[in-house]
Amino acid sequence: MTNPWILWALLSAFMAASNDALTKKALSVHNEYLIAWLRLLWALPFLIVTLAFIPIPLIDSIFFLAFLVALPLEVTATVLYVKALKTSPLSLTVPFLSLTPIFLIVVPYLILGETISVLGVIGVAMIAFGGYTLNIGQARKGLLAPFFAVRKERGSLFMIGVALIYSVTATLGKLAIQHSSPLFFGITYYSALACAMTPIALLRGRDERKYVPPRDAIKASILPGFCHATSIVAHMIAISLTQVAYMISIKRLSLLMGVLFGYLFFKETNIRERFVGTLLMIIGFALIVLFH
pLDDT in tens, 165-215: 988 888 888 889 889 998 899 889 999 999 999 999 988 877 665 656 577
In this structure, what DSSP letter does residue 153 have? -
Confidence of residue 70 (pLDDT cuts 50, 70, 90): very high
Element (H, E) at 191: helix 182-204
CA 7 to chain centre: 19
Confidence of residue 113 (pLDDT cuts 50, 70, 90): low
pTM for the structure as a whole: 0.86
pLDDT reading at 283 higher than 80: yes
pLDDT reading at 150 higher than 70: yes
Mean pLDDT of 239-244: 79
Confidence of residue 250 (pLDDT cuts 50, 70, 90): confident
Amino acid identity of residue 78, one-letter, is: T
Q: Is the dihedral of CA 249, 253, 258, 263 positive or negative?
A: positive
Distance separating alpha carbons of residues 251 and 11, to the nearest angstrom: 8
pLDDT reading at 255 higher than 70: yes
Q: What integer pLDDT is reported at residue 22 of this predicted model? A: 95
Q: What percent of the chain has pLDDT over 70?
A: 88
Confidence of residue 140 (pLDDT cuts 50, 70, 90): low
Mean pLDDT of 127-131: 84
Q: What integer pLDDT is reported at residue 291 of this predicted model? A: 77
Q: What integer pLDDT is reported at residue 240 of this predicted model? A: 78
Distance separating alpha carbons of residues 145 and 131, to the nearest angstrom: 12
The 10 Å CB-count burial string (b at 16+, else e) for 20-34 is bbbbbbbbeebbbbb
Q: What integer pLDDT is reported at residue 109 of this predicted model? A: 62
217-230 pLDDT, tens per residue?
Answer: 888 999 999 999 89
85-112 pLDDT, tens per residue?
Answer: 999 999 889 999 888 877 877 655 665 5
Q: What integer pLDDT is reported at residue 141 of this predicted model? A: 66
Confidence of residue 13 (pLDDT cuts 50, 70, 90): very high
Q: What integer pLDDT is reported at residue 75 of this predicted model? A: 96
Q: What integer pLDDT is reported at residue 172 of this predicted model? A: 87
pLDDT-wise least confident of 135-144, 196-205, 234-243: 135-144
